[in-house]
Amino acid sequence: MASWIASITVLSMVFGCVGAGYLIDYVGRKSGHMVLAVISLISWVIVAIATNNTYMLIGRFIAGLSVGASRPISLVYIGEITDPKYRSLTLVAPSISMSVGVITSHFLGGYVSWRHCCYIYGTLNASCVILFLFLKESPLWLISKGKIDEGTQAYKWFRGQDIDSEKELQLVLMRQNEKSNQYFYKDIMSLSFFKPLLIVLLLSFVQFSGVNVFSFYAQEMIEDTFKGSIDPFIFMIGIDIVRFVIIVLIFAFNKYIPRKIFFLTSNFCCAISLFILVAYLLNIERFGSVGLSITITVLFIAFGGSVVTLGWAFVPELFSANLRGLGSGIAAAMSYLVLFVCVKISPGVVATYGNAAMYATYGVVTVINNVILCFVLPETSGRTLQEIEDSYKKSGTTVSSL
């Protein structure tokens, strides 16, 4: 049943992401947040009153729709309202919030009945619906929809009126004027859409680091890997805390380290930690100390968590304003689809070939993907969203004309 719930949840997250792109491009970033909060509230009510597995799966499917869509929507909104000097920090904030949520959920799950947990989560979502009423709409979305005056006022409210902000605003307005006579299909067929789409496809393969699969099957994987030498529940909470600390450290240092270098280095270290874990498992009888096993696993979780957090931070920066919702939604859908594949195949690989084979596969995929990203991933730190968009395209160039 646990495997079914995990699979249904991740698959619904894929559908949620696809819908999220259209939702926030059509109704706005603020309204998109409110719709998702209502959907999430409904899902927790269904799970709380579920009397059989069917209702449980329906509730988890609806929850997955909301969870999947919330990540790209929140990242797009934060990316659009934040000054480029601070964007590297603020784009990590959703990962911090999610990490706190995971720790809280795992802890509550150990001591509070699951129905009571559902009521707690439902109450939190109800409060979000109210709080979202006070959000201001994204100025870049307003401008992209032709609401120039409203978007300009919102932009100045978020960014102020210093020289750099005024320059970015004028560039955004100029590009919007150039786009006003273009058809939507030309935007879809442009290099400024296909190039970032290829990059986020590669970024989605960071799910093969296995760190999120570990979250889904934490207690089972800990039990299988360490053969009862560690209390799975206590170790799971410890791992959650490690991931939280790592994300906080990323938040603290992200502004001072170019994000591309930070990401690629973390990805490489994640691969190394996976290969070390494989070597340990293949020689567990010789090196089977509890302290060593904990150290290796913590390294894997630390670097893997860093990679996933930094990878998500790139997504909302890569697409043009009028396609940012659609592109980010597709990007998140691809990421969760890869995660779905990992969640589905990992138990079978472990059952057939063992844990070492699973971790080795993760390591090989991580290395290959990292090498490719070295050449195609752009550096986005300190650049405005309009500058990043302009770097992808030649004026008037579309895929059909290449």
Structurally, the chain folds into a number of domains equal to: 1
Task: Kindly state whether residue 185 falls inside one of the protein's structural domains.
Answer: no
Would 144 be classed as within a structural domain?
A: no
Judged against a pLDDT cut of 80, whether residue 284 lies above it is answered with no
With vertex at residue 115, the alpha carbon angle to CA 106 and CA 55, rounded to the nearest 5 degrees, is 110
| Segment of 92-106, 194-208, 327-341, 365-379 carrying the highest mean pLDDT | 365-379
> Alpha-carbon dihedral of residues 101, 104, 107, 113, nearest 10 degrees?
-90
Which residues, 6 or more positions from 118, have their beta carbon under 8 angstroms from its beta carbon?
44, 45, 47, 48
Answer positive or negative: Cα dihedral of 104, 106, 110, 115: positive
CA distance 305 to 294: 16
Q: Note whether residue 365 is domain-resident.
A: yes
Quote the tokens at residue 78: 């934060």
* Range 365-376 average pLDDT: 92
Q: Is the pLDDT of residue 344 over 50?
A: yes
* pLDDT given at position 225: 60
Task: Flag whether 343 is in a domain.
Answer: yes
pLDDT at position 400 is 34
**What pLDDT is recorded for position 399?**
35
Which residue type is seen at 43? S
Residue 188: predicted pLDDT: 66
Domain-located, residue 141: no
Half-sphere exposure of 133 (CA within 13 A, CB side): 6
**pTM exceeds cut of 0.85:** no
User: What is the domain-level CATH number for residue 333?
Assistant: 1.20.1250.20
Structure tokens at 211: 């760190």
What residue type is assigned to position 281 of the chain? L
DSSP symbol at 397: -
Higher local confidence (pLDDT), 259 or 391: 259
Do the Cβ atoms of 244 and 100 come closer than 8 Å?
yes
Phi and psi for 398 in degrees, rounded to 5?
A: -125, 165
pLDDT in tens, 187-233: 666 666 778 888 988 998 888 888 877 766 666 666 666 555 666 67
CA angle 356, 333, 65 (to 5 degrees): 105
Q: Is residue 22 part of a domain?
A: yes
State the residue range of the domain holding 298: 2-135+190-375+382-391
Q: What distance in Å separates the CA atoms of residue 242 and residue 248, rounded to the nearest whole number? A: 10
What local confidence, expressed as pLDDT, does residue 395 receive? Answer: 41
- Owner of token pair 């960071």: 206
Say what the pLDDT of residue 401 is. 32
Question: Exposed, middle or buried by CB within 10 Å (0-12, 13-18, 19+), for 294?
Answer: middle
Give the mean pLDDT of 379-383.
80
pLDDT of residue 367: 94
CA–CA–CA angle 102, 23, 183 (5° rounding): 140
The residue type found at 150 is: E
Q: Which residue has the higher pLDDT, 91 or 235?
A: 91
Average pLDDT estimate for 277-292: 74
Chain mean pLDDT for the chain: 80
8 A C-beta contact, residue 182 and residue 396: no
The confidence band for 396, taking pLDDT boundaries of 50, 70 and 90, is very low
pLDDT band at 402 (very low <50, low <70, confident <90, very high): very low
The answer to whether residue 155 sits within a structural domain is no
Residue 397 lies in a domain: no
Calculate ∠ Cα 31-48-18, nearest 5°.
Answer: 35
